[in-house]
């Protein structure tokens, strides 16, 4: 606290006592608690789940998984809904987060988008059984790239792109079949996995104006990159409480910025999304 007080005086020419700094920290700890306990909207059109790794000191300094859930309401407003810190990404932690969202008022979710962590679909349906599930197509593309020869990477990834950038589900199904037939002789297991993965096409059931936001986790990954960028200004977080304060300060800033903005395409899709919620609850 003395070091922080001295630093503020050098930067701004105003002196705070260590006790004042301690009191300010205590106030922000209350902000963290308020963020974690706040009530949420009952309906979300889509919730993105993703984890990023940031160094944290316990007995030693290790990177730990920051599990983050970002939701978009039917009216297009988006916000960080919740988070958790754990040594590694796991479905156990995601289940706790999802149960917490439910406890804080989330009743219905049309779609979850994730990077395809093993077991995550079942974990989601355990808490939100009626929600649809989308496997991030960009993550699948990266996985394809890592499993084929360098000479084939560009062509096979371009072919895969025709599946999730098609004009309709029907065209996407045709593109998926063409992909499988073209590549099954060279990469049989990969072609079979793409042909059988219906979670790649879920977003085609949603309004055209918002599909580009639904086929990948790019929205939350972009936010996570910002979190990591700001976290690099600190060499490490000395304990979980200091990381909590940092994260909630970033989440609050994000929420204040985007809760009053309409995400791309959602204004055109709002009426159709409301009808989808009606069908979900009837």
Confidence of residue 218 (pLDDT cuts 50, 70, 90): very high
Whether 45 and 107 map to the same domain: the answer is yes
Whether 50 and 178 map to the same domain: the answer is no
Q: What is the pTM of this model?
A: 0.89
Whether 29 and 55 map to the same domain: the answer is no
Report how far residue 109's alpha carbon sits from residue 59's, in angstroms, rounded to the nearest whole number. Answer: 39
For residues 84, 87, 90, 94, the Cα torsion angle rounded to the nearest 10 degrees is -10
Q: What is the pLDDT of residues 222-281, one digit of tens each?
A: 999 999 888 876 656 778 888 898 899 899 999 999 999 999 999 999 999 999 999 988
Q: Is residue 129 part of a domain?
A: no
- Taking only Cα atoms into account, the Rg of the chain, rounded to an integer number of angstroms, comes to 22
Numbers of helices and strands, H then E, in the chain: 11, 5
Structure tokens at 17: 């006592």
Q: How many residues does the chain have?
A: 282
Whether 77 and 151 map to the same domain: the answer is no
Q: Is residue 130 part of a domain?
A: no
Q: Is residue 52 part of a domain?
A: yes
Across the range 111-117, mean pLDDT stands at: 96
Whether 14 and 68 map to the same domain: the answer is no
* Domain boundaries, position 106: 40-123+219-282
Whether 170 and 63 map to the same domain: the answer is no
Number of domains, the chain: 3
Whether 207 and 249 map to the same domain: the answer is no
């Amino acid at each position: 606290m003395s070091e922080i007080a001295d630093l503020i005086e050098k930067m701004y020419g105003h002196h705070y006592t260590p006790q004042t700094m301690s009191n300010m920290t205590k106030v922000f700890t209350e902000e963290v608690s308020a963020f974690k306990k706040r009530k949420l909207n009952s309906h979300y059109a889509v919730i993105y789940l993703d984890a990023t790794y940031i160094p944290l000191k316990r007995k030693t300094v290790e990177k730990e998984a920051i599990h983050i859930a970002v939701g978009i309401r039917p009216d297009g407003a988006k916000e960080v809904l919740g988070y958790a810190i754990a040594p590694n990404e796991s479905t156990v932690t995601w289940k706790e987060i999802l149960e917490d969202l439910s406890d804080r008022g989330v009743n219905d979710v049309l779609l979850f988008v994730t990077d395809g962590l093993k077991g995550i679909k079942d974990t989601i349906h355990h808490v939100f059984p009626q929600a649809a599930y989308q496997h991030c197509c960009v993550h699948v593309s990266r996985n394809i790239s890592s499993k084929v020869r360098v000479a084939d990477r560009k062509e096979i990834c371009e072919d895969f792109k025709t599946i999730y950038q098609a004009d309709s589900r029907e065209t996407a199904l045709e593109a998926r079949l063409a992909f499988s037939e073209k590549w099954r002789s060279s990469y049989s297991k990969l072609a079979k996995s793409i042909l059988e993965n219906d979670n790649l096409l879920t977003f085609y059931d949603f309004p055209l104006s918002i599909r580009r936001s639904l086929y990948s986790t790019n929205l939350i990954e972009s936010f996570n990159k910002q979190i990591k960028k700001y976290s690099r200004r600190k060499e490490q977080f000395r304990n979980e409480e200091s990381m909590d304060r940092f994260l909630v300060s970033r989440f609050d800033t994000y929420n204040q910025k985007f809760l009053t903005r309409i995400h791309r395409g959602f204004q055109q899709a709002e009426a159709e999304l409301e009808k989808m919620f009606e069908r979900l609850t009837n």
